[in-house]
Chain A
Amino acid sequence: MSRIGDIAAGLYKGEVSFDFVGRWRQWYIISAVLLVLSLSALFVNSLQFGVEFEGGSVLTVSSESCSVEEARDAAADALGSEMVPIVTELNSSSGRSLRIQTEALTGTQTNDVTDALADVCGVTAAADISAQVIGPSWGEQITQKALTGLVVFLVAIVIYLSVMFEWRMAVGALIALFHDVFITVGIYALVGFEVTPATVIGVLTILGYSLYDTVVVFDKVKENTKGLAGGSRMTYSEAANLAVNQSLIRSINTSVVGLLPVAALLFVGAYVLGAGTLKDLALALFVGIAVGTYSSIFIATPVVAQLKEREPAMQALSKRVAARRVSRGGSAPTIAQSAAGSDGAPNADAEGDTGSVATQPKPRPSSGPRNQPKRSKKRKRK
């Protein structure tokens, strides 16, 4: 516990610092690899769209007794056409069931098949048979609506972020968002779960979650970089990196707390229930929340920092910071070095020890604006 406390304190003050922003190349390469893997997963294992999107009927019979063949024959007889029902067996802890999939049936046909199945499997139609019929155009409609919703949502988000933060953050958030959704969909394809409306819900939730998480980090970045351009203490990248480090514990806690219930959902959905809404939703969510937390830290913030560093004001700031460090510490780390340095501790008064993890005890009164890293390097122990 106290260990974590130490690390957290170190993170906050910039003594322990992970160089998220400076090592952007590394993160971008990792993400690029993940994206390529997702893409190939999509090519190799293209998404299995559920009956909800393709149109058709699914009947589920909870029965221990009747065989797949019996059910198939009964359904085929009841339909009396060339339609060959696809029958699969589902086993879960709540019992065995058969899933009978056919083309879209009419109300009367559904009743006929239900009765035939109830007969052959020795169950009551009302209690043990579930049916789902989806018209062929319905899936298209759902997809259409989901896409419309998505576009409207994204536009609303861009406007909101541009107004509340700035357009660069909107760009960073969107890149992180697409990153998250793409990887999630790729993993979904890899696992081979069927894409159902529940999956769509999951992906939509990831959109919200990814943005939510990014906004929390951005809020800290915004706070840390306020009035930064006027001084010469640290560059934008360093300030942003500090913000990420300072909110790192929050990010970890949040993703753990977010993932725990979803993991429970995934476990129960996959192992207790066997199939259905919960499982599809939970897998999408589990991957999405994990990737969403990753991208807020490793993708969204570096993107914003890079965009920001192109601004004349920020470039001027970088020069001033470099000059100040030269005059103070003799060594003149360039911005790139400082940012890409192994630790990149954004110490305001670097005193030549840029990047080392606070090992030089140099008692100094803490002064300077709040939340700016102090150069007090004392290790605190109980």
Chain B
Amino acid sequence: MNVASPATGRPGRSLLVLAVIMIALGGWMFISGNTSPQLGLDLQGGTSITLEPEVAPGEEGQITDESIDQAVNIIQQRVDGSGVVEASVSAQGSGDSAVIVVSVPGTAEGKLVEQLGQTASLAFRPVLATAPGTNVPQPAPSPEPSKTDKQGGGGNGGGNDGNNPQGNPGETAANPAVLPRLADGDGTGGNNNGGNQTAEPTPSPTPSTPDTGQTDAPITRPEQVDPKLQQQFQELDCAEDPRIGDDFNSGEAAIACDELGAFKYLLAPVAVEGANVDNAAAQIPAQGLGWVVTLDFDGDGTAAFGTTSTALAANIGEPPRDQFAIVLDGLVISAPGINEPILGGQAEISGDFTQQEATDLANVLKYGALPLSFTTAELQTVSPTLGEDQLQAGLIAGALGLVLVVVYLLLYYRALALVAVLSLVVAGLLVYGCVVLLGETLGFSLTLAGVAGLIVAIGITADSFIVYFERIRDEVREGRTMRVALEAGWTRAKRTIIAADFISLIAAVVLYVLSVGNVRGFAFTLGLTTVIDLLVVFLFTKPVVSILAKTKFFQSGSKWSGLSPERLGAKRAVGTKSTVASRRRAETEGA
């Protein structure tokens, strides 16, 4: 039963491997300058929003990993675009039960939450009529949907100073109110512009449509709309029912309010879907002064936008029938007027935008159409005060628990406990390093549930040492010498530790894969600590015990070693009160 000999050569190498791992972790932390773990929102304060895909009955198959990934990207870009730093967007779960979690650290912004709610459908609808949003008479003749407060013609500069050779078609005169304008953004589109010019004089299809009465004829006048809807439009009070626009399908005319509820709109059926927007960006054009939003359509979008803008261009001078409403989730985000037919698939919205407004609008245009629509399943805002309290409580609990465990181990295992305590320290350092590393690379953040998981892990990690130490003691009781006992105890303890840790690993993996939110964070720490537990027991505890076994202190079975044969009631010590005798015997046996 001499297990000792093959194993005795290894402790140095194991410790070396562990040292390399720890130095690598430490070095990485030092080089990257990132030495503290990423804290979850419940510990540092912040907002987390869980979005759940909404599936219409019969469309269950829509939620695929692909569509979820796409949505995650869009939401991430939208959140980043809104200027919120360090926001993270991630998908959790899979298939029909997948959700998207958006985490925004720091003080919460109500605006972001609202913006994330705007995730459903983006569409362009020609405007048929507008009126003040409440039925109180208002003097404003024309809506000003893009929240611009400043008056003046500066906003038109973008349209004029673009590469558009047409120059200013004089919309300031045509539309005295400051209204965002849609211009052809196709710099190289000389042909198109030429075409526009020729297209403009062509009689607009408007007059003919009422006569045909065909369903497929474009609706361009309020009179063409179902009288019931007209009635509804007249009676609509945006203060009471701001989300009325949600109720309409894309194929029918609609009524909607703007974001502020200041204006209500009667809108034609959807002309271009938001999905047909290829790209949108906020920029100051060359030689331009103000911010504009440029828009690129894809193939279908170009054609559809061309047709509709041509029709609208015929109404220039008859506001609001030359306006194109950008409708997001039933709200009119902006309703720029058309300057000219836009056939090249590139448009430019100018208005009196601030940089922020232009960026917001571009984001909505670019990312507005998600492949899925979402509802807010959970919203959690933790104030930094509460977060700090919770972190502190977690740390206090952890420290207190650790001290209690160390005291207990020292009382019971004496010198051997030092190995256990050192092992816990090594495990603690490894866990810390891994949490920092994973926070940096995988975006893993430590939540309160995760901290609780770590505290529980103290017990489970210490159990590995206890299993080992008890096995060694059993071997000593069998009367084996220290060195033999340490090795024989190890071969048996090893099996138990692996079998038991495997259970924890199964639990961690199953919970991680199948759950969401806090449970997931907890499962992750459980799995991480279990792996580290194995690593530490194999690469640290066992080698250190092997090395200690060679010291006189342990070989002699001092009563402070925690492995004193007499104290353990070993067979060799039977009937002897003399420690010398037992020591000698142990030595001869060990030799």
Q: Which residues of A contact B (CB under 8 A)?
A: 1-2, 4-6, 8-10, 12-13, 52, 60, 62, 94, 106-108, 110-111, 114, 126-135, 137-138, 141-142, 144-146, 148-149, 152-153, 156-157, 160, 164, 197-198, 200-201, 204-205, 207-209, 211-213, 215-216, 219-220, 223, 246-247, 249-250, 253-254, 256-265, 267-269, 272-273, 276-278, 281-282, 285, 289, 363, 366, 370-371, 374, 376, 378, 380-382
Contact = CB atoms under 8 A, between A and B. Distances in A.
A360 B281 CA distance: 93
Given A246-B474, A253-B466, A135 B459 contact: no
Contacts of B378: 52, 132-135, 138
Given A133-B378, A200-B519, A257-B405, A126 B569 contact: no
Per DSSP, are chain A's interface residues mostly helix, strand or loop, or mixed? helix
Measured as residues with beta carbon below 8 angstroms from the partner, the interface class of chain B is 35 or more
Contacts of A60: 383, 386
B412 A253 contact: yes
Given A108-B114, A198-B518, A250-B467, A137 B398 contact: no
B529 to A, nearest CB: 12
B107 interface: yes
Contacts of B380: 130-133
A380 B573 contact: yes
Nearest to A205: B456
Contacts of A8: 473, 568-569
Nearest to A276: B390
Nearest to A5: B567
A253 B510 contact: no
B15 interface: no
Interface in B20-63: 42, 50, 52
A223 B462 CA distance: 23
B394 A261 contact: no
Interface of B: 1, 42, 50, 52, 93, 97, 99, 107-108, 110, 113-114, 117, 375-386, 389-390, 393-394, 396-398, 400-402, 404-405, 408-409, 411-412, 448-449, 452-453, 455-456, 458-460, 462-463, 466-467, 470, 473-474, 477-479, 492, 495-496, 499-504, 506-508, 510-511, 514-519, 522, 526, 564, 566-571, 573-575, 577
A195 to B, nearest CB: 14
B568 A9 contact: yes
B107 to A, nearest CB: 4
Contacts of A257: 405, 408-409, 458-459, 462-463, 466
A263 B400 CA distance: 9
Contacts of A198: 449, 452, 518
Contact of A260 (B401, B510, B514): B401
Contacts of B470: 247, 249-250, 253
A277 B397 CA distance: 13
A107 B110 contact: yes
Contact of A149 (B114, B449, B452, B511): B511
Contacts of B501: 212
Contacts of A13: 477, 569
